[in-house]
Structure 1
């Protein structure tokens, strides 16, 4: 074998190597990153490592970038160290993501995707639930297949917005009442009723003969009739 070819072959590096992310901010926005791979390059970072992803297409695919310091697996295309590829990530001890709020690591039946700030999607085959949540669990959407229940929770508010919002079923047809306008209308009715005087039995249609029995005034509607949590547009 020629010396040049022998040198080229021996300088090629194959297999996966542990690396640590240095810079995930790809100027071309293609999911590339640079990393330290001590056993191959020492203290010199790689060039921009291409992303190996489960799905990609024109304007489509899966993109999730590890942050600086995260563990990544690095390979080299054709063994050429000038053409790095990051093919996945790994966890050190204690770094495994947990369902929010903090709990034990998920079982094999639990699939977790969690961001560095704790925004989490959890698919749990054991409980048959799908959950999207923040780190505290105070803002979340949970679908329970087992019970047929969808729970939406917002720390400040939950907003339903659309050309039409139907509650109960797709066949819901009764319009919601505006509670504040209804309360004003009821107060007006009460005021008219309480101001009205019944003259009693009249003679010749004009002179009162028998006074009308007193009628207790109608109490005004209570503001508690209006929800302080549910509002409609």
Structure 2
């Protein structure tokens, strides 16, 4: 059996006045002219009477995260030297961690700033997602399928559905633009819809107007549905004045207008096909 090492008095002497391990401390200052994350702390168990010392940062690689004034941290001393304090992390009192991270088992990893911004990583199997949330509740979310939601604080959002390939844009008023394999649909909150697919369809609970300096319709056929009588009357009102005033060139001069004049009831809708 090996004997324990024999520490001489000289070896023990070098540990006198050294402080090993971690000590609770409070942050009292965060200004750092070198911008390296150093903070001012009080460590009551080592420095009594509220004496403040400058503690250098011990960050994980690739991070820069300075606690606010009033936060509670752990402090160590390099090689036990009280003149070389390092702050190495924070400690949470009961009830102090962010509420949304308080789950069991602890499968939510969270970064939460004092102002209320947060980044959450949900690692539960089958529910993996990432949420980046602004303090106003605007957020970016990526779910377990890779679908993405980007939402503003007013409730408007963009949804990128990774399963179907559909892209949806919704305004706070409830207007919608949807893009998928079938085409593009634009809908207003009152139920009016413009569907741009293999067919172009316009649906509205109210009137539909086409207004422009000129309107050109080029098609092999035009099919109008709805009330036949109303459509026939509209056609008559549009074309009867022209027909009543038309003339034909003849050997003795232009012919006169039709006699008797054409009345709307006598005009059929032969120029259009009316569907019920």
Match of 1:42 in 2: 48
Are 1:204 and 2:248 an aligned pair?
Answer: yes
Equivalences, count:
186
Alpha-carbon distance between aligned partners in 2 of 1:159 and 1:28, rounded to the nearest angstrom: 41
Bigger relative CO (Cα 8 Å, ≥ 6 apart): 1
Structure 1: 5+ residue runs without aligned partners? 56-60, 161-166, 178-184, 216-233
Other structure's SS at 2:75 match: strand
Other structure's SS at 2:82 match: coil
Instruction: Please report how far the alpha carbon of residue 76 of structure 1 lies from its aligned counterpart in structure 2 after TM superposition.
Output: 0.5
Match of 1:141 in 2: 140
Structure having the larger proportion of residues in strand:
2
Residues 34-113 of structure 1 mapped to structure 2, 5 A cutoff: 34-55=40-61, 61-99=62-100, 105-107=102-104, 108-113=106-111
Provide Cα deviations, 1:32-56, integer angstroms capped at 9, x if missing partner: 111111111113444321111111x
Match of 2:34 in 1: 28
Asked if the contact 2:42/2:53 (under 8 Å) is kept, the reply is no
Normalization by structure 2: what TM-score? 0.56
Provide Cα deviations, 1:91-146, integer angstroms capped at 9, x if missing partner: 112111123xxxx7134111111111110101111221110113463x11111124
Match of 2:130 in 1: 130
Are 1:10 and 2:53 an aligned pair?
Answer: no
Alpha-carbon distance between aligned partners in 1 of 2:136 and 2:103, rounded to the nearest angstrom: 17
Alpha-carbon distance between aligned partners in 2 of 1:154 and 1:74, rounded to the nearest angstrom: 40
Structure 2: 5+ residue runs without aligned partners? 1-7, 159-165, 168-180, 187-208, 217-233, 268-276
Which of 112, 115, 126 is matched with 2:113 structurally? Answer: 115
Provide Cα deviations, 1:133-175, integer angstroms capped at 9, x if missing partner: 13463x11111124x4311110248799xxxxxx85xxx9x99
Q: For the pair shown, which has the larger CA radius of gyration, 1 or 2?
A: 2
Alpha-carbon distance between aligned partners in 2 of 1:106 and 1:121, rounded to the nearest angstrom: 16
Normalization by structure 1: what TM-score? 0.65
Q: Per the alignment, do residues 105 and 41 of structure 1 end up closer, same or farther by CA in structure 2, a change over 3 Å counting?
A: same
The CA RMSD over aligned residues, in Å, is 3.9
Q: Per the alignment, do residues 204 and 110 of structure 1 end up closer, same or farther by CA in structure 2, a change over 3 Å counting?
A: same
Other structure's SS at 1:187 match: coil
Q: Per the alignment, do residues 46 and 37 of structure 1 end up closer, same or farther by CA in structure 2, a change over 3 Å counting?
A: same
Q: Per the alignment, do residues 116 and 67 of structure 1 end up closer, same or farther by CA in structure 2, a change over 3 Å counting?
A: same
Q: Per the alignment, do residues 24 and 203 of structure 1 end up closer, same or farther by CA in structure 2, a change over 3 Å counting?
A: same
Of 115-124 and 35-44, deviating more is 35-44
